[in-house]
Structure 1
Amino acid sequence: MDQKSQEELEVIEEASSEKRKLLKTREETELFEEENKRAKNKHRHRIFIGSLYFLWIVALIVIVIRVYHFLAPTYLFWLDANQIQALDKLVFSGAIGALLGRYGNKLLE
């Protein structure tokens, strides 16, 4: 081979090496983006599950308070009639379910 063809081969090999590096970088970027997306979805899922647990705990506390005020004598009450009525409205109006549904839909989008 002559000198010119040798230089052309080196240039072609260099270009091929650069192309391989670019392809590898692109693949790594795609893998990173995919992993990042999975991590975000996992985080959203954890937040959603945590909010579910929180709302269930709040609902149970409200129910326990309501049952206590239903069964206990009046001198042991710490809530007045208006506050108990507000609890009843909260529980029976479906406000908790509506908040949960709205918040859950936002998280899952």
Structure 2
Amino acid sequence: MKRTQAITAIILLLVATASFSGNFKYPIKWKERDNRILHESVCFNHDYGSIPYRTCRRDAQSYFKDQCRYYRDKASKAKAGYGEQAEKLREKFCYSASQYGPV
């Protein structure tokens, strides 16, 4: 039982770390389904309406645009057969860059 809890804790930590962008004041976390960021869940780790929540939501918009550019470049420069993961990430972030609004 304890081993399962430890593994679960490690997985949750990895998820939290993966969605955290260190250049912003507040950590940005979200939930996903089918390689799409659920926009209503962005910054669920902050109290709704609080200053950290509003700042996080605004920062998330910039973060998605930055990640879109990064993965678009990475996918275009990848050798044949090696850009699949970058292409999936490009899809996810570019969709959110164009569709997400902080309000």
TM-score normalised by the chain length of structure 2: 0.37
Structure with higher Rg: it is 1
Which of 1 and 2 has higher RCO (CA within 8 Å, sep 6+)?
A: 1
User: Higher helix fraction: Structure 1 or Structure 2?
Assistant: 1
TM-score normalised by the chain length of structure 1: 0.35
